[in-house]
Structure 1
Amino acid sequence: MTVLQYSGDGQYEGLEEIVAIARSVGWGAADILRSFYRGHANDSNLDIQEKKDGPVTAADVAANHYILEKLHAVFGTENFGYLSEETYKSLSEQSRESLVHTPWVWIIDPLDGTRDFIDKTGEYAVHIALVYQGRPVVAVVAWPEAQKLYYATLGGGTFVETQDGVTTPVQVSQREAMPKAVNEATIADLSVVVSRTHRDERFNQLLSQLSFKAKHYVGSVGCKIVTIIEQRADVYISLSGKSAPKDWDMAAPELILTEAGGQFTHFDGTPLMYNQGDVNQWGGLMASNGTCHQELCTKASQFLAKIDE
């Protein structure tokens, strides 16, 4: 296979071959999850374990094993690291330290939206991302129940693939008809996608201050970002509290959004960095179709500064 190389000018060689492999693995993992979802959900065979960071099921474990087995077989462990939700806690301190110093790292969430998987909303996803020195260059987000897979390479755009192999480029809505001047009225034209749960009072206050036109309720982060790419929503906000989203929640969704023309940053405008030692993405994160992105970040920061005084 082609060896991945960074040319030093923002260009990477070998990404198309890499993403083709990741797409195949994503579809395979999606099939595993669908088999559990249709055959074992709400069954004792699902082996639901309630843990501090949320539930884990036999489906999480099976999909994780499949993804790692397939990636290891192709890429090995000499030049690539692996950061997965299901195996990270079992790594030794030495292994975690070594991972931080590995330039190429696969970041994996085999089942994002486990609670939605258990509750049968259908809003769960597979996340697979390859990062280079902390930034994503390849991403796959599979939505099993929609039977769609979204993939992106850095600089190569975002595509949606159906199970019959048909691929279509996708772009976020630019809302070009909206006024150029950004004010409360333009932000009020936007809709936000949020979780049904995991919303504390601080986050609810922030939403009320931003006065969005509508709220859409969706489970997995990957599914939320897809709703923005497919122009069913405009904004997604993450605000950490006692806990925070993890690298594997954000890495793949970020790239499929930004390569589709959207933006995904911290409230202060800085990019998200991955595989930095702490897998938590603390603070406020803003994902949008790009309309009013900076203004939304500014308003969110100003409001939080007031309530956190």
Structure 2
Amino acid sequence: MPRDLQEILAIAQSIGWGAAAILLDAQQTSFSIEQAGESPVTTADLAANQYILDNLQAALGVQDFAYLSEETFKSQPIADRLDRPWVWIIDPLDGTKDFINRTGEYAVHIALAHQGRPVLAIVACPEKDKLYYATLGGGAFVETRESETFHSQPVKVSTKNQPEELTIVASRSHRDDRFNQLMQQFPCKDQRQVGSVGGKIAAIVEQQADVYISLSGKSAPKDWDFAAPELILTEAGGKFTHFDGSPLHYNQEDVSQWGGILVSNGQCHEALCDRAVSLLAAIDQSQPF
């Protein structure tokens, strides 16, 4: 470990709050859309990204750590991060469509991965004035603040263990017909929509929901969508895997997370994965070629 993990966590928490303040300020003043379409980018994304990178690199440097950020990875030589043991994985604004539509359901993701797996995570939810954080083996916590005083308390997933009793969170966007069919047939009948993966995982660790499913179609979520939320969810007692139960790997050549991924409170995780696989097989068999 290049430096003490708790020391790095304190740095990341401060940067998470700072990035959240930038996004809140943009919501309350003004921002412009720099890139429209399925993956929009705003001036707020770019400002928060610059702030996070500048402050992490000022505090920690570039010798021991590589950096993988949504806003800069396309212009970054892959050799700068691939095969580097310690990599920061950053989404300065997860839920840009929600940010643009002012639903309040957007988040900041900052994760530190070692050998492709997250060991430290920050998910800040600016509109809720909450910051979730976790370290590998250290548990998951939510930090709130009153004036300049910060308060932390542990978070834990629910203990519900009957599939029909579980609440599933899904996106408003990123839904195709295949995913909609899966949702209609899935055993978790109570379904709610929450923007941002970080927001969905926050709902699960706050016991307001229990399950989240990601299913790639023409595109797939990226490393920065999942790395920070995964560690917070698993340190809160949940499970976050591919449908076959295998773990996710980050900082690969392809930063897309293809296939089916199931996130749950862990109580009937394997049964839900099996159910998703069998339902998808039937859905795919019924599709015209």
Answer yes or no: same fold by TM over 0.5: yes
Q: Give the aligned CA root-mean-square deviation in angstroms.
A: 1.2
- Match for residue 220 of structure 1 among 196, 199, 224: 196
Distance 2:246 2:92 in 1: 27
Contact 2:170–2:212 at 8 Å: present in 1 too? yes
Measure how far apart 1:52 and its partner are.
5.4
Distance 1:47 1:145 in 2: 19
Residue 23 of structure 2 corresponds to residue 24 of structure 1: no
1:239 corresponds to: 215
Q: Which portions of structure 1, spanning 4 or more consecutive aligned residues, are displaced by more than 2 angstroms?
A: 49-53, 305-309
1:35 corresponds to: 25
Distance 1:52 1:153 in 2: 35
2:239 corresponds to: 263
Measure how far apart 1:51 and its partner are.
4.5
Contact 2:168–2:188 at 8 Å: present in 1 too? yes
Distance 1:48 1:83 in 2: 22
Residue pairs, 1:84-233, within 5 angstroms = 84-91=69-76, 95-163=77-145, 164-175=149-160, 178=161, 186-233=162-209
Distance 1:274 1:54 in 2: 21
Name the SS of the counterpart of 2:124 in structure 1.
strand
Q: Deviations over 1:25-52 (max 9, x none)?
A: 0000000000001111xxxxx2203345
Residue 25 of structure 2 corresponds to residue 57 of structure 1: no
- Match for residue 80 of structure 1 among 65, 80, 93: 65
Contact 1:194–1:237 at 8 Å: present in 2 too? yes
Contact 1:97–1:277 at 8 Å: present in 2 too? no
Name the SS of the counterpart of 2:81 in structure 1.
helix
**In the alignment, residue 21 of structure 2 is paired with which amino acid?**
D
Contact 1:170–1:260 at 8 Å: present in 2 too? yes
Name the SS of the counterpart of 1:275 in structure 2.
coil
Q: Deviations over 1:193-212 (max 9, x none)?
A: 01112211100111122132
2:252 corresponds to: 276
Name the SS of the counterpart of 1:165 in structure 2.
strand
Name the SS of the counterpart of 1:54 in structure 2.
coil
Percent identity between the two aligned chains: 61
Name the SS of the counterpart of 1:285 in structure 2.
strand
Residue 54 of structure 2 corresponds to residue 69 of structure 1: yes
Measure how far apart 1:78 and its partner are.
1.2
Measure how far apart 1:110 and its partner are.
0.2
Distance 2:273 2:53 in 1: 36
Contact 2:2–2:64 at 8 Å: present in 1 too? no
Measure how far apart 1:59 and its partner are.
0.3
Measure how far apart 1:306 and its partner are.
2.9
Measure how far apart 1:15 and its partner are.
1.4
1:253 corresponds to: 229
Measure how far apart 1:98 and its partner are.
3.7
Gaps of 5+ in 2: none
Q: Deviations over 1:193-238 (max 9, x none)?
A: 0111221110011112213231111101000000000000010000
Q: Deviations over 1:28-86 (max 9, x none)?
A: 0000000001111xxxxx22033455110000000000000000011111111000000
Gaps of 5+ in 1: 5-13, 41-45, 179-185
TM-score (norm 2): 0.95
**In the alignment, residue 58 of structure 2 is paired with which amino acid?**
A
**In the alignment, residue 191 of structure 2 is paired with which amino acid?**
K
